[in-house]
Amino acid sequence: MTTLTSIWRRVLPFGFIAENVPAASSVRQYTMTFTSALPILETSTVLLLVFMDSPIVKPSRRDTLRATLLEDEADIPTPGHRRAREEGLHVVSTFEWFKAQQTATFWLRRDLIEGFKAQGDRWGCAMYRSDTWSPQSMAEKITQVRDVGVSWTD
């Protein structure tokens, strides 16, 4: 949410009193190439990028994202899922998908990406579908994320 707040706070008709909202100039454009993406239309509107801390979130093609993001049906918190939501997941719902190159282009705060990369191979990124909550790719290493060299304010 802080990335969105950074980008849009200048045009919102109200102000924010918060110390942890980074400057819009810290929001950078990145690309991520996937080697294992399942076929999907380039114009699909159901894709998500899910950044996950692998010791906390165990990705596989059988997992559904919905079970991790929500409490269970009886509204009983699941400790593993709660920890994943609070510490091990970042979901990006707005990005551009280039099917021919198997590449996603997205905007995110630089400190997040640098923090992920500083932890070595712990963090990865996978594509999921928001209609079935199922993986569209296996998780790729966070080292595959490339800074395009453009900030939101450029």
Confidence of residue 146 (pLDDT cuts 50, 70, 90): very high
pLDDT per residue as tens digits for the range 9-34: 565 566 666 667 677 788 899 999 99
Rounded to whole angstroms, the Cα distance separating 13 from 38 reads 41
The average pLDDT across 118-132 equals 92
Q: What is residue 9's predicted lDDT score, i.e. its pLDDT?
A: 53
Rounded to whole angstroms, the Cα distance separating 121 from 74 reads 35
Structure tokens at 19: 């110390």
What is the gyration radius of the CA atoms in the chain, in angstroms? Answer: 16
The region, left, alpha or beta by phi > 0 then psi within -120 to 50, assigned to residue 32 is beta
Whether the per-residue pLDDT at 140 is higher than 60: the answer is yes
Rounded to whole angstroms, the Cα distance separating 52 from 50 reads 6
Extents of the domains making up the chain:
28-151
**SS3 per residue for 104-153:** EEEEEEHHHHHHHHHCHHHEEEEEEECCCCCECCCCEEHHHCEEEEEECC
- The whole model's pTM is what? 0.82
